[in-house]
Structure 1
Amino acid sequence: MRRLGTTVALLAATALGACATAAPTKSEPSASGGQPSAAASRGKALPKGLDPVGHDPFASTYRPLPSRPTALIGASVFTGTGALVENGTVLLRDGKVERVEAGLAAPAGYEVVDARGKYVTPGLIDAHSHLGVYPSPSAPAHSDGNELTDPNTAGVWAEHSVWPQDPGFNLARAGGVTTILVLPGSGNLIGGRSVTLRNIPARTVQEMKYPGAPYGLKMACGENPKRVYGGRNRAPSTRMGNVAGYRTAWINAADYMRKWDDYRAKADRGEKADPPKRDLQLDTLAGVLKGEILVQNHCYRADEMAQMIGVADEFGYRITTFHHTSEAYKIADLLAARDICAATWANWWGAKLEVWDGIEANAALVHAAGGCAVIKSDDPDLIQRLNQEAAEALAAGRAAGLDISEAEAIKWITSNAAKALGLTDTGALEPGKRADVVLWDRNPFSVYARAERVYVDGGIAYDRRDPRYQPKSDFELGQGANR
């Protein structure tokens, strides 16, 4: 009990420190909500909840951890841009990367971290996770990732299922992960909105929500949606039924947009007009058609990815990332030409027939074709060792004869992953970007590498040697008390 009391006291001190942060910047909305809607800006505002444009009712309340000017000195620095800086100094100030340069001395007033013989990378980004919506411990009471009530559940939002006390967040942070895309599951054709999280200890999902990050729409093709509904005499039960379901959804979304456009045009002319009734499902789909919400598409087979690109072309939207994409190597040139990221693994193979042609060099072959290769987890264990999964993919690519440097491969779990999430302010150690940084005790491509310290926005979020920065969730503390 004394040990538990000490832990609680430490956590309380950390929590109080986390509250003592600066006011939000212009790019980080306050707790009061998002920007005013287009209708409001014209002086024709509808009551809250009736206008789908421009208002985020669940806006981020994220506050950066306390930070101080810091200099990491003498490290081998993978910048996330394809460069390796030996004997590098990384300066962090005001939550941003200030400078990265070889042999640079620490300025006066900076906390100096001796990183000689160690490695520094950007914070790792997991582009596909279900932490919080399928939290630990795994139990039916916690199974909140798949709304298996209709093939199209575009109206659901993953953030409304996220449990911030999931111990997986702490374990992922110890593995160097600073940003996480949490997605709904893949049982539906259209599964709902994703949410991007800052991986910090928090009480609410809004406190973790990445300020300004675009929403994503989870879509799924192939075996999952057709097997979920095929036995219930409800569409879809075939791959052609899948495609018909997508097309029907987009037709309805386009009609919904037209009705809102007609209403706004009449309102602008001063004509009497009644607004259409809001539809949560169609709000999300319309957001995709307007380019505001990014499509995150679960798809394994090469031919199905090509089909999904065809559907996107028909309705005028673009796919940001294919997920799992075990056969991306078969159409690597097509993905590169379309600037579609491929978020995959190295060695997940054979779980079902559509995964049969998965190969370990998949990401490396996408990279070699000039594409955006991403290594992601889709798993609460793998998220703790994304660096090792990237190392496996790199080794397989080299075995296949591809000349890929470690400095390029680190992009698969940093800057390329940021691109897959639509983020431009993290993923690389460049001046002005968020100070999301990992200090490793050795080369992160080593199976023995461990994260020694993890910074999120320049604040210490994890320190392997300091219990004050090894947070426990309330769930973990409760389990300790029960034992």
Structure 2
Amino acid sequence: MQKFAPSLLVMALGVALAGCQDNGPQDPKVSINKNPYPSTYQPLASQSTLITNATVLTGTGERLDNADVFFVDGKVQQVGKDLSVQADKTIDAEGKWVTPGIIDVHSHLGAYPTPSVASHQDGNEMTSPVTAEVWVEHSVWPQDPGFNRAREGGITSLQILPGSANLIGGRGVTLKNIPSHTMQGMKFPDAPYGLKMACGENPKRVYGRKGVLPSTRMGNMAGYRTAWIEATEYKREWDKYESDYAAGKNPAAPHRDIKLDTLAGVLEGDILIHNHCYKAEEMAMMIDLGKEFGYHSGTFHHGVEAYKIADLLAENGNCAALWPDWWGFKMEAYDMVQ
């Protein structure tokens, strides 16, 4: 039987006890505020209103002639003919049309106000091909007269996107089209954030002139992939921090990077992709890019060649947001069908 000196036994016992000691409380957990500019939107005061004798498009493919619409507190309560309701106000809409409010899914109002002056041109941060750190809501000027014109045209909600100079141009924001002195007063409560990406001619033209990547479509793809690799590693670091903290290991928080916060939000499914992309082959590559890095490639805006790959878009659950009749103004916009 092996014998130990008393001093060695004391040392061994001390080591064992030290391993069982409480290392004290953990440092406060570092959390990222995902909504630091919250909505303060409040519906405008309104009377109960009955619209009569209108041609009504329900928004579900149905047309009702000589019909009525009754709404209370800004929300439609009934649609039909000869409604028997008590309303504070009645509007005779004979000879007029009533439709649901129009949602503009791709707008630059507030970030590119009208009339156009240089001091208000805040929709493109053309200082780097990847500017996921910028949020277009920080550029929105709520007093842009364009919001009034849009309201006159029936547009009640808008997604404001940054422009398409960059491969990844920043976050979009969804607004209620109401008069307000602040962006937060227009911000659509609980709407998810979107991230603007851009394919094709715009980023390669803007940065090719500066002599930096990208200057080609292959440079575009390399730029996206580099950004998503960085985001994947960043997310892995924060996931490990969360796991280690939950296990009581008192880890040090990773370095915070607001560009990678946004890209990681896409990888987590919290932020939706809105991709400026005209050409069929580029949309197909962007779908594969999303699969490579584990995110959904979202909606293709301006996708004039979407008709060529309608089956692929349907298979992958991608949307296409198009103009009704604007095309042919540059090379990638020519192969359109009406």
**Matched residue type, 1:59:** P
Equivalence for 1:99: 78
Describe the SS at the equivalent of 1:194. Answer: strand
Equivalence for 1:188: 166
Assess if the C-alpha contact under 8 Å between 2:45 and 2:73 holds in 1: no
Describe the SS at the equivalent of 1:193. Answer: strand
Deviations 1:82-137 (A, max 9, x none): 111233222211332212223322x1244222223321101111111111111122
In the alignment, structure 1 residue 52 sits paired with structure 2 residue 32: yes
Measure the CA separation in 1 of the matches of 2:313 and 2:54.
Answer: 35
Measure the CA separation in 1 of the matches of 2:332 and 2:118.
Answer: 27
Higher relative contact order (CA 8 A, sep 6+): 1
- CA-CA distance at 1:51 after TM superposition: 2.6
**Matched residue type, 1:257:** K
Deviations 1:247-293 (A, max 9, x none): 11111111111111111111111111111121111111111111111
Describe the SS at the equivalent of 2:236. Answer: helix
In the alignment, structure 1 residue 126 sits paired with structure 2 residue 85: no
Describe the SS at the equivalent of 1:311. Answer: helix
Equivalence for 2:304: 326
In the alignment, structure 1 residue 354 sits paired with structure 2 residue 312: no
Measure the CA separation in 2 of the matches of 1:99 and 1:315.
Answer: 46
2:246 to 268, 291, 303: 268
Equivalence for 1:73: 52
1:344 to 306, 322, 327: 322
Assess if the C-alpha contact under 8 Å between 1:298 and 1:324 holds in 2: yes
1:419-434 alignment runs, 5 A limit: none
Runs of 4+ aligned residues of structure 1 deviating over 3 Å after TM superposition are 43-46
**Matched residue type, 2:31:** D
1:387-398 alignment runs, 5 A limit: none
2:199 to 209, 221, 224: 221
Describe the SS at the equivalent of 2:111. Answer: coil
Equivalence for 2:68: 89
Deviations 1:402-447 (A, max 9, x none): xxxxxxxxxxxxxxxxxxxxxxxxxxxxxxxxxxxxxxxxxxxxxx
Measure the CA separation in 2 of the matches of 1:63 and 1:332.
Answer: 40
- CA-CA distance at 1:320 after TM superposition: 2.3
Assess if the C-alpha contact under 8 Å between 1:348 and 1:358 holds in 2: no
Assess if the C-alpha contact under 8 Å between 2:56 and 2:97 holds in 1: yes
Deviations 1:294-313 (A, max 9, x none): 10000011111111111011
Describe the SS at the equivalent of 1:85. Answer: strand
1:441-480 alignment runs, 5 A limit: none
Deviations 1:21-42 (A, max 9, x none): xxxxxxxxxxxxxxxxxxxxxx
Measure the CA separation in 1 of the matches of 2:168 and 2:190.
Answer: 23
Measure the CA separation in 2 of the matches of 1:95 and 1:169.
Answer: 19
- CA-CA distance at 1:232 after TM superposition: 2.1
**Matched residue type, 1:61:** T
Equivalence for 2:8: none
Deviations 1:58-86 (A, max 9, x none): 01111111112222122221111111123
Measure the CA separation in 2 of the matches of 1:199 and 1:100.
Answer: 24
**Matched residue type, 1:228:** V
**Matched residue type, 1:242:** N
Describe the SS at the equivalent of 2:99. Answer: strand
Give unpaired runs (5+ residues) of structure 1: 1-42, 362-483
Measure the CA separation in 2 of the matches of 1:109 and 1:81.
Answer: 25
1:234 to 188, 212, 226: 212
**Matched residue type, 2:100:** P
Assess if the C-alpha contact under 8 Å between 2:266 and 2:295 holds in 1: yes
Question: Identity, % of aligned pairs?
Answer: 58
Measure the CA separation in 1 of the matches of 2:136 and 2:113.
Answer: 13
* Residues 1:44 and 1:342: Cα distance change in structure 2 (over 3 Å): farther
1:158 to 136, 141, 157: 136
User: Comparing 89-98 with 157-166, which one deviates more in the overlay?
Assistant: 89-98
Describe the SS at the equivalent of 1:127. Answer: strand
* Residues 1:109 and 1:231: Cα distance change in structure 2 (over 3 Å): closer
Measure the CA separation in 2 of the matches of 1:113 and 1:345.
Answer: 33
**Matched residue type, 1:91:** F
Equivalence for 2:11: none
* Residues 1:79 and 1:109: Cα distance change in structure 2 (over 3 Å): closer
Give unpaired runs (5+ residues) of structure 2: 1-25
**Matched residue type, 2:68:** T
Equivalence for 2:189: 211
Measure the CA separation in 1 of the matches of 2:315 and 2:47.
Answer: 43
Describe the SS at the equivalent of 1:138. Answer: coil
Measure the CA separation in 2 of the matches of 1:358 and 1:322.
Answer: 15
RMSD: 1.6
Aligned length: 313
Equivalence for 1:403: none
Assess if the C-alpha contact under 8 Å between 1:190 and 1:220 holds in 2: yes
Deviations 1:154-188 (A, max 9, x none): 00000101111111111111111111111101000
Assess if the C-alpha contact under 8 Å between 1:301 and 1:354 holds in 2: yes
